[in-house]
Amino acid sequence: MAEDFAKGERRLCARLGLEGDAAESLLSAMRAGVSSRQAVVLTARAPQDYVPPFACTELDAPWLPPRVYVPAEGVKPTAHADYVAGLYYSLDLSSCWESACLSEVPAPASSLDMCAAPGGKTMLMAARFGAENHTANEVHPGRRGILRQNLEQCGMPQVRVTGNRPDQWARSGEQFDLLLVDAPCSGQSLLCKGIKNPGCLGSGMVNGNAKRQKGIMLSAVQCVAPGGHIVYTTCTYDPEENEKVMAYILKRNPDWQAVEVPLLAPFRSALASFPAYRLLPAHGFGAGGFCCLLKKVE
Ligand SMILES: C[S@@+](CC[C@H](N)C(=O)[O-])C[C@H]1O[C@@H](n2cnc3c(N)ncnc32)[C@H](O)[C@@H]1O
């Protein structure tokens, strides 16, 4: 078992092209499990001039999305009455990093979060653009309930909540200006947060997720109007579930292109010929993840 894990670690570093100190840094973050960093995003319930009632850290991070704050070390944002009142939503700083892709997207007339529960990406989108004509979709019934609760708590009753599979969306003929695809993945970054995730480095888990992600994205591209965008994100490091999924989609859909996100330039992946971005624990902004912004040409 330990041998399999070590083999998985080595394979991941090789796939990421990490050697020496860079490889050691990722491996020690996965073993230590202390890279988690929290953030809060203000909700529709928070007045325009609201600031959270706890100490926050000033980050040197131009990509930090609007209405997002980073609680100082030791602060528990969920312990405050304002959290219960729904003035802000608590989530991972790495999720906020991924949503910087939205800085290159015009305000959408309609949007769909295809894998929405528990609701973090929807909250970040709403903080930037509002949530008029937004649909939050979650296939898993139990998780859909949590999503509904979170949207209610955060004052977003206008959001339509649905439970369609991606292929059902594709067949529906409905078209959106913006799709968020925060895809189910092997979740390798969970290790860096101290969350047990057996098998997440195994090729079976990685390849199975990559297959599912390609299926989701093949449906997703059918749901976007010309000129519209997809923000693809995962909380895993393996290129099979990230760059390779994007390359697969771009190859099969010549009317799509990957779009540069200047705010994320320091995180540009060297593993793709198109713009794609990876955050690692060594960057210091949480456990990390991957994002890529795709546009359907007009
Ligand atoms: C990474 S989580 C989404 C997290 C959420 N976007 C957030 O920021 O709070 C991925 C979600 O995809 C859902 N999912 C699992 N399999 C799926 C599939 N085949 N198609 C669409 N969604 C799926 C899971 O139930 C899970 O809620």
Residue 47 Cα to ligand 1 midpoint, Å, equals 30
Does ligand 1 lie within 6 Å of residue 118's CB atom? yes
In a 13 Å sphere around the CA of 31, the CA atoms on its Cβ side amount to 11
Catalytic residue of the set 101, 154, 235, 292:
235
Distance 112 CA to ligand 1 centre (A): 13
Q: Does the beta carbon of 95 sit less than 6 angstroms from any atom of ligand 1?
A: yes
Share of the chain above pLDDT 90, in %: 97
**Span from the CA of 181 to the centroid of ligand 1 (angstroms):** 8
Where do the DSSP E strands lie in the chain?
38-42, 68-69, 88-92, 111-113, 134-137, 160-162, 176-182, 224-234, 256-259, 277-279, 289-296
Query: What DSSP string runs through 113-148?
Result: ETT-TT-HHHHHHHHHH--TTEEEE-SSHHHHHHHH
Question: What is the predicted pLDDT for the residue at 298?
Answer: 86
The answer to whether the CB of 143 is under 6 A from ligand 1 is yes
Report pLDDT digits (tens) over 177-188.
999 999 999 999
User: What CATH number should be reported for the domain whose range is 2-296?
Assistant: 3.40.50.150
Q: Is the CB of 278 under 6 A from ligand 1?
A: no
Overall residue count recorded for the chain in this entry: 298
- Measured between alpha carbons, how far apart are the two ends of the chain, in Å? 51
CA 48/CA 39 separation, integer angstroms: 18
Decide: 117 in ligand 1 pocket, CB within 6 A: yes
101 is catalytic: no
176: number of CA atoms within 13 Å, CB side? 27
Residue nearest to atom 12 of ligand 1 (CA): 115
Q: Residue 1: its pLDDT value, please? A: 63
- Could you read off the pLDDT tens digit of each residue along the chain, which spans 298 residues? 666 778 899 999 999 999 999 999 999 999 999 999 999 999 999 999 999 999 999 999 999 999 999 999 999 999 999 999 999 999 999 999 999 999 999 999 999 999 999 999 999 999 999 999 999 999 999 999 999 999 999 999 999 999 999 999 999 999 999 999 999 999 999 999 999 999 999 999 999 999 999 999 999 999 999 999 999 999 999 999 999 999 999 999 999 999 999 999 999 999 999 999 999 999 999 999 999 999 999 8
Nearest to 218 by CA among 177, 263, 185, 251: 251
Q: In Å, how far from its chain's centre is CA 236? A: 10
Q: How far apart are CA 176 and CA 230, in angstroms?
A: 10
The preferred substitution site among 112, 139, 197, 209 for testing ligand 1, maximizing ligand atoms within 8 Å of CB, is 139
The alpha carbon of 116 and the centre of ligand 1 are apart by a number of angstroms equal to 6
Q: Whose CA is nearest to atom 11 of ligand 1?
A: 115
What would the DSSP string read from start to end of 197-248? Answer: -TTTTSHHHHHHHHHHHHHHHHHHGGGEEEEEEEEEEES---GGGTHHHHHH
Q: Where are the domains of the chain?
A: 2-296
C-beta neighbour count of 170 within 10 angstroms: 17
**pTM, two decimal places:** 0.98
For the chain, the maximum distance between any two Cα atoms, rounded to a whole number of angstroms, is: 54
Q: Which of 17, 182, 42, 171 is nearest to 112 (CA)?
A: 182
Residue keyed to tokens 């001039």: 49
- How far apart are alpha carbons 236 and 289 in whole angstroms? 5
